Amino acid sequence: MVQTNSRLQTKDPCHPLDDLIRTDRIPHIWCSGCGIGTAFSSCLTAIKSTGFDLKKFIMVSGIGCSGRAAGYVKLDSFHTTHGRAIPFATGIKLGNPELNVIVFSGDGDLFAIGGNHFIHAARRNMDITVICVNNLNYGMTGGQAAATTPYKAKSTTTTLGNPEDPFNLPLMAYASGATYVARWTMLHIRDLTDSIEEALSKKGFSFIEVLTPCPINYGRRNKEKPLDTLKLYQDNTIIKNGANPSEVDIDFEKGVILGKFVDEDRPTHGEKYDMIYRAVS
Amino acid sequence: MEPAVLTGEHYITGDVACAEGALAAGCRFFAGYPITPATEIAEHMSIRLPNVDGTYIQMEDEISAIAAVLGASWTGAKSMTATSGPGFSLMMENIGLGICTETPCVIANVQRGGPSTGLPTQGAQSDMMQARWGSHGDYEIIVLAPSSCQDTFYLTITAFNLSETYRVPVLLMTDEIVGHMSEKVIIPKAHEIKTVSRVKPKGRKDHFKLFKPGAKGVAPMACAGEGYNIHVTGLTHDEKGYPVMSVDTQAEMMERITGKIRNNLADISRTESYLLDDAEIVVVSYGVSVRTSLAAVEEARKLGIKVGLLRLITVWPFPDDLIRNLSEKVKGFVTVEINLGQIHREVQRCVGWKVPTFLAGHPGGTIIPPENVIEILKEAF
Ligand SMILES: Cc1ncc(C[n+]2csc(CCOP(=O)(O)OP(=O)(O)O)c2C)c(N)n1
Ligand code: SF4
Ligand SMILES: [Mg+2]
């Protein structure tokens, strides 16, 4: 927990992103050393750099530490139920296609309980941008194994090591039909911000995975101090734009591949629906 | 573009009448997932919606269908979904989100026999308690039950009007029998149909509180993209919509979401009575069972039994006072419903031990034959 910032009482903005933050909701709940805040501010910077009308940006989150983003962003924002941010966002986009809809949520939310919605929204090429904060575990509930937890990693429910293999998220996004797929870590803040801006400016289903430390619940159990995780992000990653998504499994020993993997153009759900159902009549 | 209101005389099923009622009420968004016996509502909406500038989408399951309905409602679109037992179960968590976030929408449950996959093609009324209490936590909800195809048309409109008035999901609890039967349905002229839309906020956008009760205890509703910077969460929240994890905020929020229903019962509660003035016995029924109850009451009157019918159009909130008052005057009650006594127990709760209460029910699959009701009337009184 952070101490209340007395500067926030003054009227002058004290951070370049203050106009996009509900400063009356600060302090936030994120632990010190948590990476979500960095991914969040990267997203806000990207939103600003698009130059689009801020009134038309909507952020939708599910449940989890990452899902709290919707509660801090000063945009129309929706904090929904666990796993259901994408279908909620789908309803918003279909209800008012003028809106730019961003889903900002966690790996557990988007790929375990909400995995089915992810693949279907990608298949439809729903015109939304999904940002997944992947901290390799369920942070909010205290560090249980997720569908992204590496093989043999420790968690409160895999105390001897995870017997399961994790999803390769970019591969799943690509295979399901996403037209934009990228992965960065929160340390690669410039690339990440550029990537989010690019995704927001692009039509169709865009997916960005952001590797993010959860020192409290993941790092602690896997012998990674907060700085160790950042060091891994720096030393054991390889930027390879255009890499084949089937070759980007997360393995820090081999080196984790980052970059933009997919950037295609295909008609969106809305365009196809309008063409088939609204053209004549 | 086609007209949204198909004025004229039609011979259609209850499911199609539901879809046409929705369109006449101004529904412009439907998200669904196929399930017998509700599928025809989705099919009809998929054909009609794009022609009235609306949008239909078939989602990957009922969880996402209701989630999309809530999302669409927050853009200002009158939105609905339709399902039956298994899908209704899957929707429960997000129905709770709709209640907590005061999101208007309509959910039609064309009931079939349960539990589980049950009797997919045969009617029942056994989700009535699930309609009341199916999502976790305390809340109030509005539930309507149509008895005919014409009724389905009108009550779907009422469902939208109530949901828009009170910012609450409204459940239209029909059943396989009404859903699949075909009857004459008269659709009036568009200007003869009363439709209600949510109250929009006025005044300064930066001072706006999304959950601050206005007239009738209902907060005006700003929508996504209108510049209010709204925040909507299923966490316990204050009038601004911000999460506050405190006992007081919980109590205040619960008062807002239950009070707006409890304090407007006269407007929300709808019943119809038949031959009740001199009745000594009251038959209580709703939905399709009203039809068999009516036949039974008429037949019993011929036999000299002084019986009348109370039809619950609004099943929830339950008309406690009405039944309590009746119980002072009559000799007993018979509840007619296709389940093992869900509303019967509510009648009992209101009547207490003042007079006897009976159930004419069965576990589902067909109507309650009027003879069963007459039998009880003859033997018990
Ligand atoms: C239906 C339901 N099941 C379980 C939970 C409990 N729950 C809350 S957050 C969460 C996991 C969140 O993990 P993730 O999406 O990775 O977010 P993180 O906290 O790691 O950012 C779970 C299981 C819930 N809120 N709702
Ligand atoms: S538990 Fe982990 S993910 Fe959640 S705020 Fe703390 S560090 Fe971040
Ligand atoms: Mg996580």
Whole-angstrom Cα distance, residue A61 to residue A81? Answer: 8
Q: What is the pLDDT of residues B268-325, one digit of tens each?
A: 999 999 999 999 999 999 999 999 999 999 999 999 999 999 999 999 999 999 999 9
Residue A64 lies in a domain: yes
Q: CB under 8 Å to A28, separation ≥6 — which residues?
A: A2, A37, A68, A72
> CATH number for the domain including A109?
3.40.50.970
Please indicate whether residue A222, judged by its CB atom, sits closer than 6 Å to ligand 2.
no
Number of domains in chain A: 1
Q: What is the pLDDT of residues A43-90, one digit of tens each?
A: 999 999 999 999 999 999 999 999 999 999 999 999 999 999 999 999
Please indicate whether residue A58, judged by its CB atom, sits closer than 6 Å to ligand 2.
no
* Domains located in chain B, CATH noted: 8-191 (3.40.50.970), 206-266 (no CATH), 270-380 (3.40.50.920)
Over residues A115-125, mean pLDDT: 98
Q: CB under 8 Å to A88, separation ≥6 — which residues?
A: A60, A78, A80, B67, B68, B70, B71
Quote the pLDDT of residue A279: 74
Which of A81, A141, A155 has the most ligand 1 atoms within 8 A of CB, as the residue to mutate?
Answer: A141
The predicted model scores a pTM of: 0.97
Give the CB-side neighbour count of residue B291, counting CA atoms within 13 A: 15
Quote the pLDDT of residue A181: 99
Residue A8 lies in a domain: no
With b for 16 or more beta-carbon neighbours within 10 A and e for fewer, the A142-154 pattern comes to ebbbbbbbbeebb
Residue A11 lies in a domain: no
For residue A84, give how far its alpha carbon lies from the nearest alpha carbon of chain B (Å). 7
* ipTM, 2 dp: 0.98
Q: Which residues pair with A131 in a beta bridge?
A: A104, A208
Nearest CA owner, ligand 2 atom 5: A30
| Locus of tokens 């930066």 | B206
Burial (CB count <10 Å: 0-12, 13-18, 19+), residue A32: exposed
Q: Which of residues 102-131 of A touch B (CB under 8 A)?
A: 116-117, 120
For residue A243, what are the domain limits? Answer: 16-280
Provide residues with CB under 6 Å of ligand 1: A 63-66, 82, 106-109, 133, 135, 137-141, 146
The number of the ligand 2 atom at minimal distance from the alpha carbon of A133 is 3
Quote the pLDDT of residue A1: 39
Residue A10 lies in a domain: no
Model confidence band, residue A14 (pLDDT cutoffs 50, 70, 90): confident
- Written as one letter, the residue type at B41 is I
Residue A6 lies in a domain: no
Distance B359 CA to ligand 1 centre (A): 44
Mean pLDDT of the residues in chain B = 98
Quote the pLDDT of residue B148: 98
The number of the ligand 2 atom at minimal distance from the alpha carbon of A35 is 8
Whole-angstrom Cα distance, residue B299 to residue B337? Answer: 18
Q: What is the pLDDT of residues B121-149, one digit of tens each?
A: 999 999 999 999 999 999 999 999 999 99
Residue A7 lies in a domain: no
The number of the ligand 2 atom at minimal distance from the alpha carbon of A29 is 5
Q: How far is CA A177 from CA A127, A172, A180, A264, in A?
A: 12, 9, 9, 10
Of B31, B71, B79, the CB nearest to A89: B71
Nearest CA owner, ligand 1 atom 3: A82
Quote the pLDDT of residue A3: 47
Distance B1 CA to ligand 3 centre (A): 46
Residue in chain A lying closest to B94 (CA): A81
Q: What is the pLDDT of residues B189-234, one digit of tens each?
A: 999 999 999 999 998 999 999 999 999 999 999 999 999 999 999 9
Residue A128 lies in a domain: yes
Residue A253 lies in a domain: yes
